[in-house]
Structure 1
Amino acid sequence: MSSLPSAFMDTLDQLPGFNKESFLEVHNSAERITSIRLHPQKATALFPELAPTPVPWNRHGYYLSARPSFTFDPYFHAGAYYVQEASSMFLEEALRQTTDLSQPLKALDLCAAPGGKSTLIQAVLHPDSLLIANDVIKSRAGLLADNITKWGADNVVVTNNDPRDFARLEGFFDVMVVDAPCSGSGLFRRDPEAVEEWSQENVILCSQRQQRILADVLPALKPSGVLIYSTCSYAKEEDEDIMEWLLENFELENIPLSIDPAWNIITSVTDQYKAHGYRFYPDQVKGEGFFIACFRKKGEEGITKKVRQQIATLPAKETARLLPWLRDAANLTFVDHKGEVIILRSSIATELPVLQKKLYLRKAGVKAGQLTQKELIPDHQLALSTCISAGLPAVELPLEHALRYLRKEDLQLDLSLKGWTLMRYGGMNLGWAKVLPNRINNYYPKEMRILKAGMPE
């Protein structure tokens, strides 16, 4: 890889736990770490041939001994796992130590694209919780929505808003995750081209932007609520200095975490406020560079008067037509949105009018599809959802046919089934096809299809 700039290395010398010799050695080595996090409702163990070993700070995280071709893995497209950098999976441990995950919570992942942290948060929250996954950039919010679709959860709302917009929801969130845009030095080993873009001037600009983001969004955190701040930067200006700035300017208190010494995570204590943050160095942990710190907003949570929100739910007669497609339907609410049925966890459905009024919503819950007089035309989101019935007509495809389906190619199958049918691989839904007397129509979304030719090696 490109040699690390001397100006960059000079900024690291005084950092807590930094070891220059081993740091340079790992950046100059050819080793690359691949890790995935399994979907707890879809997958158990995958890639047995790649000898997965657990990520120590995440219940569903695994290291792979080699990097497979995820593009040609139908499990990937089914949302059975998320390919996520191992250090950032520590967010689960931070959530477990700072929040009561046995209770329904309102959570915000502010800088969420492409979706790794959002899917992690959703997996550990109580199922009746509300998660808002946001990204300010329109194209990235679209990618985020696609990955949330693969994850299949009915309690996630994807938004495309500037951080300042969330101030309209004053005191709304119990927990807020801000994985802030940063100078990216923690990912130099994974992305050598980023080395060329590093400068101390950019570090300062990122630090200023991080302050703006945090100041804009903090009004939306309720008293006693938890803020989790993280970056993939080593820079003190983006890490410890931001901690000090938060404690200096806002009614926050730092939350120290309990760290297993065997994890080799470095605890950093700030000079003025003695606040604890946690540094991940790639020569000391099996992962990339990462920083995380946790805070609680001071003050007692007041009793808020709940205003009952009216939501246009589907009539009972139409709802009855949906029930055969779903499991656990008693906990679901159905909303008619521009001729399409949206499925939401009932516990969060009443929040939808408030969110629609205050934010730009890119995706909410699970799109079931379009109800016509004759039938439900099911949406791809329903196929990948965790609320879909296990008893619907389905065809188990071998790998070659699964990849043909995922390329949106014609399928030549001898089927006795008729009508809407789930295409599956390894017991996991890939999407819909409609079986007609003389052909099979492939309904895999064109924008999500595999474009590469070939088969996995």
Structure 2
Amino acid sequence: MKTNFPVSFSNRLQMQMGAEASLLLEALATDSPTSIRINTAKFQAPVQLEKVPWSSHGYYLKERPSFTLDPLMHAGAYYVQEASSMFLEEVVKQTVDLTQPLRVLDLCAAPGGKSTLLASLLSKDSMLVSNEVIKSRAEILAENLTKWGAPNVVVSNNDPRDFDRLEGFFDVIVVDAPCSGEGLFRKDPNAINEWSPDNAHLCSDRQRRILMDVWPALKPGGVLIYSTCTYNPAENEENIQWLSEQTELEPIRLDVEKSLGIKELEAANNLVGYQFMPHMVKGEGFFVCAVRKLDGDDWQAPRKDKFPLAPTGKKEQVEVAPWLTDEREFFQHYENILALPTGDNESWGAVIRELRIVQAGVLVAEIKKKNLVPAPALALSIIFKKDAFPAWELDLRQALQYLRKEEWPIHRKKDGWHLMCYEQLPLGWIKRIATRFNNYYPLHWRIRMELPGELPGTGLL
């Protein structure tokens, strides 16, 4: 495909990269690869898929299908994620001990690619706070994390400066900063139209503000992982160099195989970053750098603060506890019953108290007129005990009709709640009443497109 790039962008690349710039520009005029990351807590990848070399569970697809028409995606079996950004897995593995309980913040998290990756890496005793400052995007983030099914996640809707209330709290902070988007030029043509030198400069200034605002929330010895989807040094290594001049930190050098084609960028103060470029890797433009914090104070748990949520009533606890495979503590927020991990009420209480929460833990059920309505998040959680409810295995068309929130006559003898599944993966709930049922799939999640007459086989993977 022929692409016209802004002259100022091409000129800057020429100054930045020399003769190599033409190779990058040629690569940016080719089609973007499609890649997914498998949720192994729910699903196993087909063996014929090509592996993303720096990811344990990332795979390339030969072509981009209509993911909307695959119930496996809606069930959280996989996440459609750009391959280069999956390198976050390698950064985390080389910088922290994943066998330990960690408190991790994904600061600029929507729509959820890096958060779902982090959730799969962390131990069952860890906590992930997944934050998005824009409310509408925070709702999308919450939906994607709910479908992924990880139980120890908090979704928040806060500005970076709000995290100074949790000084020294996090072991790891990931800042995938809003940027000028140069690395997305072939994936998103609108990114080309929105690019300008002035916008790139504004992005650099905003990234520095974000870094300084969230820095106090990182504990001494904690790891900051900074990334962008741009090639611009002013938004990448120069920002980390600037941060090193404002704070006390040490660089972290990663062990990266040269054969992968990932470019190592040296900066002042022994800092090093890693740049992905589509003429060298099968992926989009991506920059990442990790540093360790040396200054500041550890978080001090409040001594007398009461936990911000009330325990659920004993009757409700007895009813919902058998629905989960793990032991959990149950709390009530208005009419909602939440399942939170046992044994770390101080950390969970601090986060829930200090941040604007979209969701926390697993939403198990809603209390309606003294009856319990099982929540969509329960069906999708990896700690849900699937045999707690009668299940109905759907074929492809039925599953898509369900995801469109349609209803149709059924012939089942037992009234009450039924779990709707596709290839044995839960999608959500129906409630049978006589010869019909009510579809409880969330209205704002529903598939809006019309179903084609012929569907693509029994699945897209």
Please indicate the TM-score interval, normalised by the length of the shorter structure.
over 0.9
Residue equivalent to 1:196: 193
3-state DSSP of counterpart to 2:146:
helix
CA RMSD of aligned residues (A): 1.8
The aligned amino acid for 2:285 is G
Contact conserved, 2:107 with 2:132, CA < 8 A, in 1?
yes
Residue equivalent to 2:459: none
Shift of residue 352 of structure 1?
3.3
Shift of residue 388 of structure 1?
0.9
Residue equivalent to 1:362: 358
Residue equivalent to 1:40: 40
| Same amino acid, percent of matched pairs | 49
Q: How does 1:328-367 map to 2 (within 5 A)?
A: 328=326, 330=327, 332-367=328-363
Q: Is 1:293 matched up with 2:294?
A: no
Shift of residue 413 of structure 1?
2.8
Shift of residue 17 of structure 1?
9.1
Q: How does 1:154-303 map to 2 (within 5 A)?
A: 154-270=151-267, 272-299=268-295
Q: Is 1:378 matched up with 2:379?
A: no
Residue equivalent to 1:80: 77
Distance 1:16 1:299 in 2: 35
Shift of residue 192 of structure 1?
1.6
Shift of residue 316 of structure 1?
3.4
Instruction: Give deviations 1:95-114, integer Å, cap 9, x for gaps.
Output: 00001100010000000001
Contact conserved, 1:169 with 1:220, CA < 8 A, in 2?
yes
Contact conserved, 1:326 with 1:388, CA < 8 A, in 2?
yes
Contact conserved, 1:16 with 1:268, CA < 8 A, in 2?
no
Residue equivalent to 2:60: 63
Shift of residue 126 of structure 1?
0.8
Q: Is 1:419 matched up with 2:431?
A: no
3-state DSSP of counterpart to 1:236:
coil
Which one is further off, 152-161 or 408-417? Answer: 408-417
Shift of residue 371 of structure 1?
3.6
Pick from 315, 318, 340 the counterpart of residue 317 of structure 1. 315
Contact conserved, 1:37 with 1:61, CA < 8 A, in 2?
yes
Contact conserved, 2:411 with 2:435, CA < 8 A, in 1?
no
Distance 1:344 1:404 in 2: 33
Distance 1:44 1:232 in 2: 29
Distance 1:413 1:438 in 2: 6
Residue equivalent to 2:325: 327
Distance 1:359 1:276 in 2: 33
Instruction: Give deviations 1:110-134, integer Å, cap 9, x for gaps.
Output: 0000111111111101111111111
Shift of residue 419 of structure 1?
1.0
Is the alpha carbon distance of 1:7 and 1:365 closer, same or farther for their aligned partners in structure 2, counting shifts above 3 Å?
A: same
3-state DSSP of counterpart to 1:351:
helix
Aligned pair count?
A: 450
Which one is further off, 153-162 or 19-28? Answer: 19-28
3-state DSSP of counterpart to 1:237:
coil
Contact conserved, 2:249 with 2:295, CA < 8 A, in 1?
no
Pick from 108, 111, 117 the counterpart of residue 111 of structure 1. 108
The aligned amino acid for 1:172 is F
Is the alpha carbon distance of 1:349 and 1:41 closer, same or farther for their aligned partners in structure 2, counting shifts above 3 Å?
A: farther
Distance 1:127 1:349 in 2: 15
Q: Is 1:437 matched up with 2:434?
A: yes
Is the alpha carbon distance of 1:319 and 1:17 closer, same or farther for their aligned partners in structure 2, counting shifts above 3 Å?
A: farther
Distance 2:343 2:399 in 1: 36
Contact conserved, 2:37 with 2:80, CA < 8 A, in 1?
yes
3-state DSSP of counterpart to 2:320:
helix
The aligned amino acid for 1:412 is P
Distance 1:8 1:431 in 2: 47
Contact conserved, 2:380 with 2:426, CA < 8 A, in 1?
yes
Contact conserved, 1:106 with 1:174, CA < 8 A, in 2?
yes
Pick from 140, 145, 148 the counterpart of residue 145 of structure 2. 148
3-state DSSP of counterpart to 2:32:
coil
Shift of residue 414 of structure 1?
2.4
Distance 1:28 1:146 in 2: 33
The aligned amino acid for 1:357 is R
Which one is further off, 212-221 or 446-455? Answer: 446-455
Contact conserved, 2:169 with 2:298, CA < 8 A, in 1?
no
3-state DSSP of counterpart to 2:142:
helix
The aligned amino acid for 2:23 is S
Contact conserved, 1:401 with 1:411, CA < 8 A, in 2?
no
Instruction: Give deviations 1:66-86, integer Å, cap 9, x for gaps.
Output: 111100100011011110000
Is the alpha carbon distance of 1:75 and 1:309 closer, same or farther for their aligned partners in structure 2, counting shifts above 3 Å?
A: farther
Shift of residue 201 of structure 1?
1.1
Shift of residue 366 of structure 1?
1.3
Distance 2:429 2:12 in 1: 53
Q: Is 1:390 matched up with 2:391?
A: no
Is the alpha carbon distance of 1:349 and 1:430 closer, same or farther for their aligned partners in structure 2, counting shifts above 3 Å?
A: farther
Contact conserved, 1:129 with 1:348, CA < 8 A, in 2?
no
The aligned amino acid for 1:7 is S
The aligned amino acid for 2:32 is R
Residue equivalent to 1:24: 25
Q: Is 1:8 matched up with 2:5?
A: no
Contact conserved, 2:106 with 2:130, CA < 8 A, in 1?
yes
Instruction: Give deviations 1:120-169, integer Å, cap 9, x for gaps.
Output: 11110111111111111111111111111111222111111110000111
Is the alpha carbon distance of 1:97 and 1:148 closer, same or farther for their aligned partners in structure 2, counting shifts above 3 Å?
A: same
Contact conserved, 1:176 with 1:227, CA < 8 A, in 2?
yes
Which one is further off, 64-73 or 363-372? Answer: 363-372
Contact conserved, 1:206 with 1:238, CA < 8 A, in 2?
yes
For structure 1, list consecutive stretches of 5 or more residues without a partner in the other structure: none
Instruction: Give deviations 1:40-87, integer Å, cap 9, x for gaps.
Output: 2111125x6xx4111111111111111111001000110111100000
The aligned amino acid for 1:335 is F
Instruction: Give deviations 1:371-407, integer Å, cap 9, x for gaps.
Output: 4576421111111111111212100000011111011
